[in-house]
Each structure stands twice: as structure tokens, then as C-alpha cells.
Homo-oligomer: A and B are copies of this chain.
Amino acid sequence: MLVCTFIAHGSSFAHRGELRQAKRIVVKLGSAVVTRGDECGLALGRLASIVEQVAMLQNQGREMMIVTSGAVAFGKQRLRHEILLSQSVRQALHSGHNQLKDMSLPVLEARACAAAGQSGLMALYEAMFTQYSTCTAQVLVTNLDFHDDQKRQNLNSTLQELLRMNIVPIINTNDAVVPPPEPNSDLQGVNVISIKDNDSLAARLAVEMKADLLIALSDVEGLYNSPPGTDDAKLIDIFYPGDQQSIIYGTKSRVGIGGMEAKVKAAMWALQGGTSVVIANGTHPKVTGHVITDIVEGKKVGTFFSEIKPAGPTVEHQTEMARTSGRTLASLHPDQRSEIICHLAELLTDKKKEILTANKMDMDLAVNAGHLPPAMLKRLSLSPSKLSSLAIGLRQIAVAAQDSVGRVLRRTRVAHNLELEQITVPIGVLLVIFEARPDCLPQVSALAIASGNALLLKGGKEAANTNRVLHQLTQEALSLHGVREAVQLVSTREEVEDLCRLDKMIDLIIPRGSSQLVRNIQRAAKGIPVLGHSEGICHVYVDGEASVDKVIKIVRDSKCDYPAACNAMESLLIHRDVLRMPLFDQIIDMLRTEQVKIHAGPRFASYLTFSPSEAKSLRTEYGDLECCIEVVDSMQEAVDHIHKYGSSHTDVIITENEDTAEQFLQQLDSACVFWNASSRFADGYRFGLGAEVGISTARIHARGPVGLEGLLTTKWVLRGDGHTAADFSEQGTMKYLHENLPIVQPLVGQRDSN
């Protein structure tokens, strides 16, 4: 049984991550959340999912309170229906479609609506909460209850008692007995706060009850720096009271009272009283189902109000810096980019001690924590020899950097005096996410620098110390030519999911790690392309004419050299003839010696008297000392099998027959197709690309190991002399030439600055 501990707070939280600890939470539902439906009249589904979330948080042991608006609008809906029925029962029953929307109705009095709506709203809440075995209590308040100290104390102790009994209080203004609320503007004085709208009511209540968190849901995403919809409007993730002057408020929300300015004032008031506040959209159909739980889990939803400004720059600011500095990096001379990379290679050797000390810290922490598997520990650890081979790889990249950005790919004389060039340019801002493998950092940085791209790096928590030192060295190298900020290390606290939402700022995401990581990121990254391998279901096909030695060597290496790698063999396809050869027993013996667990495909199993366990699926990435064996009749059947069950990553044929091999290499539609070589060669360094940013199983842009080339795109440069398209029309005076011109690489470094 899970025992949760929550910290009841006296002062507000500093980070979103701390919100998980909130024990007492006030959820304020704006009238738009409660009443505005998407297609029909009411937002029933939305309300149900909010009730679901509140009940769940309550079940975790938190104390939940709801401040609800919308009784007026709710009552309007109800009274309309009553009026309709009393106007003409027959008409209402038989008129058919849209009677509610189409019939003109008398103007309804707001307080009558409130009274009519209150009971319906409460009944609905109660019916819904009952489904979660959660009790609710209705509390109606008026101005006087907060002005009068005695009444305020009474209210306080009533609510305390309800919370103690695990009941969810549902609070609203008693609108039937007061004048309809109006927008307020006097929230400054602590004791004289008047409850003119539900935002300030919620704030007042949250402070009175010493709540840890106030979640204010309405129909806006949160606080923007300027009115939403204008050219420069950006949603503010974390708002610090000191920054208030930078906000331009827009118009009021459409339903109900309480524009953004009032919301912010109420939020700041709550913040001063020690309650953290998040303002978010509770009407968005796709996210309403988890908006409250997401906020409590610390996700970047809406605007979080915080009193304490964090020390470092925000990730948005880091991205801006990277883009700006990256543009300068792209306009450097290729020699300068090479120099930076060579300097980084030197630093890896010169500062070996610092790096290894930091790595020792990470290793000690990991060993002490004791939860990292040995393979992960091996990836985490650096050694002098790892560092020197890293430096060698970097120097290879430095050479390749000489001829990357600004290379002319195509020149065409479109017409007299009209010349077109296609040149390579950087992609822009890359986000590379890597798990516990710190040697990625200098490799990926070097590739980004060589290709003139800005880079955001997000490393695994386990390698935090090593990564920090390696990043400092990278920035030191970048300083050589004044582009220190082009490579940024993102805090380990940032959620990958939140980074994926920066879709206007990041041009390409490259996840390096498990296929699970890649899949998660592909799901989260809406609008940003993701370059990565989804799965590595690699096959080795042993032909009937294969050499025994090569089969044993290659199968062993493909499976056992590094079973967790994406380019390790997962399925071994054997030609039927091989079953009757001594080779077959040699393969099985070798796999047994190497302790590889064998799963039999259905055909293979049918040939055996005593079969190993049958493979659950022929499409499994074991990623361990396990593999599937299946039998095929021919090379052609092997190709068909791989097309059907493979992931188009890397597939190998072992044969001495060149014709069979060439057929296989030709016909197989995989990123890497090998003849008589281990699948483990599918790797940027082994391919001679210097290093890789990853292996792509995507079919566009880059495929297989991705080095420098995969980080470049192109732009088209046209130089004319007043040419117009109309000149080339049927009535025009000009004709297209479209002559291919020889490619002369021009004065490098002056070509492009992205």
C-alpha cells in the first residue's frame, strides 16, 4: 500500500516540481468551465472529468475544496427549459431539432437564475462525487461572512471540520441574496477584501484556509505577456510579481465576470498569503481530463505564480540564446568551426583529470544508489582511453567541418542573367536528449558545431556532474570565436515533455537512447520533427552457401558484442538446408556457450523434436542475450520475412554466393544492408562519419547512422536582374534555359549565416 506524505505549507512553493507536495488544494472553476458546452448545451463531460481528478487527489489523502462559478449560467439553461415547456409542451416535444437554440427567449433575471442553478449544480456535483464514494458539502458565502471576524471564524471551523471528515466542500457565493457581482479593483487591502467575483473569493478562501495551492480554471490558457492573438503574445510559464509591468491585459473573458487583470490580482493576493497559484484552461477538450492532476504533478500547464525567481535562465531563454549565438556560429568561416572542435578535442585530453573526477562522483552516486544495472554503469563510466578515442573522433569531425555549411550542391542558369544556387545551411536549433552516456555530449556538440547548428542538450540525471564539466569545456572551446552560448545544457529538472512543446523554437529533436524513449518523444513532440530509430529488429540470414567460420563469427558478434544496442541481432534466419549441416549444431553450441536464450519461430519449432520456448512474436526487440530463430526456404523468403517482421534498421546476409548476396542487398528495403559483416557495424563512427547523432529508421531526411550530413538542410539562392515570372509567360519575351552550371566552391565562410 502506497503511503503518500504531503507537506502542509506556510509559504508558497518555489518550483512547479514542489506542487506534488501540496496537501490542501482549492480548485476554482470559472463559469466557462462549468457551463459552456462544446456541441450541446452543457459541459457535462468536462465537469465529470474534473470531479474524477478531484476525487482521485482526495483519495491520495489530499484535502480538496472546490469553488464553483456558473450557477447563474446553469440556472439560465434550466429556466429556459422550464419556460419552453410552459410556453408550449407540444412544440417542445415534437418540434424536432435545435429547439433550445432557435427559440427566442425572454431575458432572465440573474439572481433568479442563480437560485435555480444552485440546486441543479449541487445535485450534479453530488451525483458525480457519489460515484467515487466521495461526500460533498454545499457552502454558500456572502460578503458579510468575510467582513465579520466571527462569521469568518465560523466558516473556517466548519470547513476545517468538513476536511477532517474527508468531505469535499463546494463553495459558491450566495448570489440569490446579494446584488449581482461586479468586477472588482480593490483587492489590495488584506482585511477589507470584498468578494465581488469568484476569483477573489477563491483567493480569499485559500489564504483563510492556509491552502498550499489554488488552481484557477477558466477559458484562457494562462497569463500572456500581451493580449492573446496579437503578433507577439507568449504564454508565461512562471510569473514573478516583480515582472508585473511587462503584462498587457486583454479583454475580459466572454462569460462571467473576472477578466485576466482581476485573476492576476487575486493570484498575487493569494501568493502573498502563502498559497501557490496556477491559472490554467479548464475548457480545452483534449487536456481537461488531466489538467488538475498534471498541475499537481508539476507539469507546465498554464501560468504558475511564484515568489522566488530561480537562479539560472529559463529554458525558453536558453533556446533564444542558442539560436542567436547559433546564427553567428553559422556565419563563421569553416576553419573557425574546425578550430573550435579541435580545441574541444584538446580540452578533453588536457582537462582529463577534472572530467574523470566528475565522472567518479557520478559513478559513486550511482553505485551507492544501487539501482543502475551493470550495463548502464558501463555506459556511464569514462576512462582515459575512452577520452582519447573521443578526441580522435572529434578531430575527424573537425576535418569534415571544412566542407559542410555553405557547400554549393547545384547551380543552374535559369535564364540570361538569372542564376540559381542550392547551398547547404544548418537546420537551426537542435534538441538532443541522451540518457546516461556522457561521451555523447562532446560528440553531439562537435557535430552541431561542425554543421553550424545551435544545440540544446538534455542529459541523464545520473551523469549530471560529468555532463556539467563536459559542457563547460564545450563552452570554453566555443568562446574561442565568441559563440559560447550556441550549445546549452538544459537543467535535469526540465521535463522532456515540456521541452517538446517549444515547437516554435526548436527545429529538430534527436533522442539518443532506448526505443521507448524515442517513442515517448515522438508522441510528445507535436509539430517538431523527431529523428530517431523506433526499433531495431535486426536480422542475420544464414544462406545455404555460407562459410562456417563467418557464420559463427558474425552471428556471435551481432548478438553478443553488445546485446542492448539497437544494431544487435534479434532474429536469426536459417536456410532450410543448413538444418542438416554440422553448421547448425555449431551455431546452437556457440549460442549456448554465450548463454543466449533461444526462442523458436513456428516453422523452426515444427522441425525440432524438443523445441525451446516458442517466440511470442516474430517482431520482438529482445535487447538482451535472447534471440529468435526461424527457418526459411530461400533467400527470397528471407527477404519477405524481413519485410514483414523487421523494422528496416539493419539486416545481414551471410553467403559465399555473390549473386545471392547482391540480390539480397538490392531487394531488401532496410536502412543498412550488409553482406558477410556483423550488424554491429551500423554505427556512425564505424561507417567513418566521425560520430553519429543517432541512427534513423525514418524514411525521409536521413536514414541509418546520421553524421554531419543529416544536420544540414539547404536553401535556394537566386540572383537576377529584375526578372519577373510574367516575362516567361506565353506572351513574355524570355525563355527558360535551365543550363546546369559547373559547381565551383566559392569563398567559404562568406556563403551563409543562416
Asked if A60 CB lies within 8 Å of chain B CBs, one says: yes
The interface-forming segment of A14-22, A93-101, A492-500 is A93-101
- A49–B56 CB distance below 8 A: no
Q: Mark A59-101, 1 if CB is under 8 A from B, else 0.
A: 1110000000000000001000100100000000110111110
Contact residue among B45, B645, B718, B752 (Cβ-Cβ distance under 8 Å from A231): B645
With A231-B618, A669-B754, A677-B720 as contacts: A412 and B714 at CB distance below 8 Å: no
Tell me which residues across on chain B come within 8 A of A243, comparing CB atoms. none
Contact residue among B645, B678, B683, B698 (Cβ-Cβ distance under 8 Å from A723): B678
Complexed CA–CA distance, A19 and B723 (Å) = 55
Asked if A320 CB lies within 8 Å of chain B CBs, one says: no
Complexed CA–CA distance, A700 and B506 (Å) = 12
Q: Mark A540-557, 1 if CB is under 8 A from B, else 0.
A: 000000010110011011
Q: Mark A725-749, 1 if CB is under 8 A from B, else 0.
A: 1101010000010100000000000
Q: Mark A19-57, 1 if CB is under 8 A from B, else 0.
A: 000000000000000000101111011011101100110
Tell me which residues across on chain B come within 8 A of A671, comparing CB atoms. 715-716
Asked if A666 CB lies within 8 Å of chain B CBs, one says: yes
Contact residue among B47, B59, B529 (Cβ-Cβ distance under 8 Å from A40): B59
With A44-B131, A94-B166 as contacts: A414 and B686 at CB distance below 8 Å: yes
- A550–B676 CB distance below 8 A: no
Minimum distance in angstroms from A380 CB to a CB of chain B: 19
Asked if A240 CB lies within 8 Å of chain B CBs, one says: no
Complexed CA–CA distance, A97 and B705 (Å) = 49
Minimum distance in angstroms from A126 CB to a CB of chain B: 10
- A61–B676 CB distance below 8 A: no
Tell me which residues across on chain B come within 8 A of A557, comparing CB atoms. 724-726
Complexed CA–CA distance, A56 and B93 (Å) = 15
The interface-forming segment of A149-157, A180-188, A190-198, A420-428 is A420-428
- B681–A133 CB distance below 8 A: no
- B678–A724 CB distance below 8 A: yes
From DSSP, what is the main secondary structure of chain A's interface residues? mixed
Contact residue among B45, B128, B665, B681 (Cβ-Cβ distance under 8 Å from A414): B681
Complexed CA–CA distance, A752 and B662 (Å) = 9
With A48-B48, A549-B722 as contacts: A677 and B418 at CB distance below 8 Å: yes
Tell me which residues across on chain B come within 8 A of A84, comparing CB atoms. 133
- B669–A529 CB distance below 8 A: no
- B736–A561 CB distance below 8 A: no
Asked if A146 CB lies within 8 Å of chain B CBs, one says: no
Asked if A132 CB lies within 8 Å of chain B CBs, one says: yes
Asked if A105 CB lies within 8 Å of chain B CBs, one says: no
- Kindly identify, within residues 644 to 689 of chain A, every residue whose CB is under 8 Å from any CB belonging to chain B: 645, 661-662, 665-667, 669-678, 680-683, 686-688
- A713–B703 CB distance below 8 A: yes
- A738–B699 CB distance below 8 A: no
One complex includes copies of this chain to the number of 2
Asked if A102 CB lies within 8 Å of chain B CBs, one says: yes
Complexed CA–CA distance, A61 and B427 (Å) = 54
Minimum distance in angstroms from A194 CB to a CB of chain B: 33
Contact residue among B48, B127, B700, B754 (Cβ-Cβ distance under 8 Å from A45): B48
- A102–B724 CB distance below 8 A: no
- B529–A675 CB distance below 8 A: no
Complexed CA–CA distance, A725 and B94 (Å) = 79
With A418-B677, A550-B722, A715-B703 as contacts: A45 and B40 at CB distance below 8 Å: no
Complexed CA–CA distance, A286 and B287 (Å) = 10
With A41-B133, A97-B59, A714-B703 as contacts: A676 and B720 at CB distance below 8 Å: yes
Tell me which residues across on chain B come within 8 A of A752, comparing CB atoms. 666
Looking at A132, A418, A674, A699, the one whose CB has the most chain B CB atoms below 10 A away is A699
Asked if A508 CB lies within 8 Å of chain B CBs, one says: yes
Tell me which residues across on chain B come within 8 A of A724, comparing CB atoms. 553-554, 556-558, 561, 677-678, 680
- B688–A412 CB distance below 8 A: yes
Minimum CB distance partner of A567 in chain B:
B725
With A507-B699, A554-B722 as contacts: A669 and B561 at CB distance below 8 Å: no
- B701–A700 CB distance below 8 A: yes
Complexed CA–CA distance, A225 and B331 (Å) = 57
- A41–B131 CB distance below 8 A: yes
- Kindly identify, within residues 500 to 538 of chain A, every residue whose CB is under 8 Å from any CB belonging to chain B: 507-508, 522, 527, 529, 531
Tell me which residues across on chain B come within 8 A of A556, comparing CB atoms. 724
Tell me which residues across on chain B come within 8 A of A47, comparing CB atoms. 48
- B720–A42 CB distance below 8 A: no
Tell me which residues across on chain B come within 8 A of A100, comparing CB atoms. 59, 133
Tell me which residues across on chain B come within 8 A of A425, comparing CB atoms. 669
Asked if A375 CB lies within 8 Å of chain B CBs, one says: no
Contact residue among B645, B672, B682, B728 (Cβ-Cβ distance under 8 Å from A686): B728
Minimum distance in angstroms from A606 CB to a CB of chain B: 17
Asked if A285 CB lies within 8 Å of chain B CBs, one says: yes
Q: Mark A556-587, 1 if CB is under 8 A from B, else 0.
A: 11100110000000000000000000000000
Contact residue among B56, B522, B561, B738 (Cβ-Cβ distance under 8 Å from A39): B56
Task: Identify 13 residue pairs between A and B in the complex whose beta-carbon atoms are under 8 Å apart, listed by A's number.
Answer: A39-B56, A45-B52, A231-B619, A420-B687, A508-B700, A553-B724, A557-B725, A669-B715, A670-B715, A673-B715, A674-B720, A703-B713, A703-B715
Query: Known contacts A558-B724, A700-B700; can you find 4 more A-B pairs with CB under 8 A?
Result: A2-B97, A61-B97, A427-B700, A678-B723
